[in-house]
Structure 1
Amino acid sequence: MSNESLERIARNKNVARAAARQLSMEQLHKLSEVVAEVIDQKEEEERKRQQVEAEKEQKLAEIRAAMNDAGLSVDDLVSEQPRRRRGRPPKESDSSDGHKSKDNNG
């Protein structure tokens, strides 16, 4: 079953019912268990992601407070990088090849 058909089933109750009618009761129960496991895993992943984000926000708040206490700003921490020149780099010339002279004697 492709992602498209799973998405169609998930979006439309009638499509889901039609697909479910093709399965036996045993298959439906197994599908229900699998879907429940997937939902639990997704919820756990989301909880972990939110926890990581909350920890980052906490650390940022602590850093901002420490910077404020020290009288520093972000500009004090970031030095301006030199700007790169745009355009082509100069051609490197090979002195041994240089300009070749032509022999016009025939």
Structure 2
Amino acid sequence: MPPADCFEVDATLWCWQPNRKGGGWHFVTIDGQTAAEMRYAALGRTGGFGSIRVDVRIGGTRWQTSVFPHKESGGFILPVKADVRKREGLSEGDAVTVSLAI
């Protein structure tokens, strides 16, 4: 099997709250040239809604998930689950370096 296509991006963690009662989903936006290169690397390997399966690392935490097309940026959004945020001490507005492999 060929080596995975790897990407690294510096981004800001943001929160989408479907209502004002607290909680919410946390994401990192991947846009610009990195998003274009990821889209090309994943040709023929996209899932539902145009998602792309990725192996992710933030700090010392690794996990598998998918990135999803993001209409507003023209790139992708990466969900960052609570367990990862807790392990890495992250909250909304924090700058993060994300490594992704397709």
**Higher relative contact order (Cα pairs below 8 Å, separated by 6+ residues):** 2
Query: Could you say whether these structures have the same fold, taking a TM-score greater than 0.5 normalized by the shorter chain as the test?
Result: no
- Which TM bucket (shorter chain)? under 0.3
Give 1 or 2 for the bigger CA radius of gyration.
1
The alignment's TM-score, normalised by the length of structure 2, stands at: 0.27
- Which of the pair is proportionally richer in strand? 2
